[in-house]
Structure 1
């Protein structure tokens, strides 16, 4: 078959790129070796949120008396918890199947690779290979769990995020190596359901990409939940011990041995750039990622790459936007689109972590803003002073805003609290519009809401606090 566009990979970058290509009049196909929706819908963003919601509901039952409700002894049916998560994922994947049909996109099931210029080879599960032609080939093969040399994922003693979502039974104890989004989300899920969890983080603080105040707050809250946290520490070796494992952990004061049922490796991701034809085509890579220009074309004309396999934040919403920008640029060059798309501002990408309390951030941290030469105004508003948060029984955390003292430019926002991932978009839009602090304060925020805490934090930054 001959196509205008073939997308290899159907994750949030690939399937979105395919739909936009079809909308713009391109005959489009998408190649997928496993399940439509990729890792995000099937093994990442969506099913993990289902697990985390279960943990939250269980936590509510444990604290129901705080709301004036008495509930009997609530128990966790771990098998049912996992089944619900898989059901949510399957439903979303079927939704992508519907979108492919709706947009008249051919789905080619199998492993895809660039065979030659303008050619994609697809090998199905039976080993049968077919070659399809395309003027434009978009690589969107995503990423997988990164493995450390001394922490190989074997699916039994050391597991990755995929195994963590479908364990046959709940472990009594777990060591989580790495405290990025994946690590702290699973730590919350398992700890809330009753597993004894220990987090081991190589760097001096957990969630190390976040503002330092966020890290301190989450560590305080997690310790209160009974999660043990070891920073400036590394797992040097893991060995089987009876029905569990022994992990040798190097700390600043010496080496210790931790015992647990299982170790979860959550030390980041590695791009899927192997066996897709990069070497044969001479496509450049750097530090394990594909090198692209601002419209995601590789050094080989007609071949593009988006999502986790290119430099930038490895986030679903980033991959989706990269796919749209890539396809719109192609369409513009072929006179199918009226204007060249605006490139992505990677300094205005929201990051969200769905532990409890949630974390959401965008823009400069306080430290990064100062290192960039800004004189800053900083405001923090605790949710303990929020009427809506108090009514909801969700007073943990705060909103922190950072502004340029000279011009009032909104440099960044960092939040930790209930549902803050739903609030961060205000900052993203405001920064895109180059809004100043005064314009935000002049915009009336609804009361009572947790979102008005953003306005309250800005008032604190400028010495105009009303509710604090």
Structure 2
């Protein structure tokens, strides 16, 4: 008889959510983790980054808000990083408490799958444990492409460990979510920032207008942005680190006191399987079927280790769906509708289809858009160019997507995700009264423009 019905390897958002859901559904569950509970998101990613961004926004607002004089204000960077660590530690301890309450066994150490249903642990709780099912939720690590001199650059993991002083200048290689959030943080604090992105715009995985507008706003703040630029090498110079890159075939370079490698993240499963036990992969990610099962029966994988969409809430939803299927339940959350959030200034959030997606898939769509130039809350906040777009099927009016670039976009995207998940039309969503003065008022205007384009 197996020791457990389910063993989850990894206590990040996907792993701990899956374990707690499994326990609630009556499965005898254990979690194996060799670091802090909460994984990358809680300890080296989403949460600590947002703690830094909150502080940098307070600093920036204090220095740019009309009627506020912040002369004499000072920045205590070590205290800021301590506060960040305290938040992560508190939340991590909270997860351990949830495990205890749910009677989920937490095993400390590094896991190695030696056979289906069998896991060897090295470390504090060394030994061998067995289970009917194994769920891999080991997340990802910063990507390290083969660029000469890249070892001179920091990863986001290293940068989040903290420094005792603010860099005078920083070069960020990569204009995705990680890159633009750190660009926002350092720009807020007055650091000289350069962002180099290989594709034609920032945030290349999102609606084109979002990345283009963000680049304009960052440039107004003094950030240098180089798109369509490929990094060639990083070198140590007498004035700092020099990043050499090519832009449209022309060579260029920029020097900074520090360099951040923000080329995304790679699935983390090295050393997880014993010799002779290898799941099917694409060379990077572990392949899974519609139930989350790998090519090895009884072994499942969720989150960054198997999914091209590397988001904490995706991992959590996949983990929940996987254990619900194991317990004979129908998954409670749609896995095909993924909200994306970027905590730049102003915030960016999107869900569902863009107008370009509709055209690419031969889906007839109409788009309603509202710019927030005359929105009272936006004028008060002084956040610059902001907009909301909503996308609906051209014949039925059913909502298919939304793209927001405005204050509190990450908090507002949930209602649009809910509307799309439930097949609501633009007219139905427009029926709700929106309070004044709010940023959300603009959503009503965008919906009004959309409805005017739809058939009666």
> 2:451 and 2:16 mapped to 1: Cα distance?
44
CA contact (8 A) 2:426 2:450 kept: no
Gaps of 5+ in 1: 333-338
Secondary structure of the 1:218 match is: helix
Aligned-pair Cα RMSD in Å: 1.7
Higher alpha-carbon deviation: 444-453 or 168-177: 444-453
Deviation per residue, 1:2-32 (Å, 9 max, x gap) = 1111100000000011111111111111011
Secondary structure of the 1:290 match is: coil
Counterpart check, 1:308 vs 2:304: yes
What is the deviation of 1:460?
Answer: 1.8
Secondary structure of the 1:445 match is: coil
Deviation per residue, 1:320-362 (Å, 9 max, x gap) = 0111111111111xxxxxx43257342x210001111111001
Give TM-score, length-normalised by structure 1.
0.93
Cα gap change, 1:112/1:152 in structure 2, threshold over 3 Å: closer, same or farther? farther
Counterpart check, 1:164 vs 2:159: yes
Counterpart check, 1:344 vs 2:344: no
Counterpart check, 1:429 vs 2:418: yes
CA contact (8 A) 2:114 2:274 kept: no
What is the deviation of 1:264?
Answer: 0.5
- Corresponding residue for 1:336? none
- Corresponding residue for 2:81? 82
2:440 equivalent among 417, 431, 451: 451
Aligned positions of 1:81-120 closer than 5 A? 81-120=80-119
Secondary structure of the 1:402 match is: strand
- Corresponding residue for 1:15? 16
What is the deviation of 1:387?
Answer: 2.3
What is the deviation of 1:395?
Answer: 4.9
Cα gap change, 1:56/1:389 in structure 2, threshold over 3 Å: closer, same or farther? same
Counterpart check, 1:175 vs 2:171: yes
Secondary structure of the 1:234 match is: strand
> 1:445 and 1:237 mapped to 2: Cα distance?
52
Secondary structure of the 1:274 match is: coil
> 2:255 and 2:37 mapped to 1: Cα distance?
38
2:376 equivalent among 384, 387, 393: 387
Aligned positions of 1:45-56 closer than 5 A? 45-56=46-57
2:270 equivalent among 264, 268, 274: 274
Counterpart check, 1:142 vs 2:139: yes
> 1:203 and 1:14 mapped to 2: Cα distance?
33
- Corresponding residue for 2:188? 192
- Corresponding residue for 1:335? none
> 1:253 and 1:326 mapped to 2: Cα distance?
47
Counterpart check, 1:26 vs 2:32: no
What is the deviation of 1:252?
Answer: 1.2
Name the count of aligned residue pairs: 451
Deviation per residue, 1:344-393 (Å, 9 max, x gap) = 342x2100011111110011121111121133222211222222323444
What is the deviation of 1:445?
Answer: 2.2
Deviation per residue, 1:229-284 (Å, 9 max, x gap) = 00110110011113621111111151112111121111111001211117632311
Secondary structure of the 1:236 match is: strand
- Corresponding residue for 1:251? 247
> 1:120 and 1:152 mapped to 2: Cα distance?
38
What is the deviation of 1:161?
Answer: 0.4
CA contact (8 A) 1:399 1:413 kept: yes
What is the deviation of 1:449?
Answer: 1.8
- Corresponding residue for 1:321? 317
> 2:148 and 2:422 mapped to 1: Cα distance?
45
Higher alpha-carbon deviation: 49-58 or 19-28: 19-28
Gaps of 5+ in 2: none
1:330 equivalent among 321, 326, 329: 326
> 1:458 and 1:135 mapped to 2: Cα distance?
50
What is the deviation of 1:139?
Answer: 0.4
> 2:78 and 2:131 mapped to 1: Cα distance?
45
> 1:359 and 1:456 mapped to 2: Cα distance?
18
> 1:312 and 1:242 mapped to 2: Cα distance?
40
Give TM-score, length-normalised by structure 2.
0.95
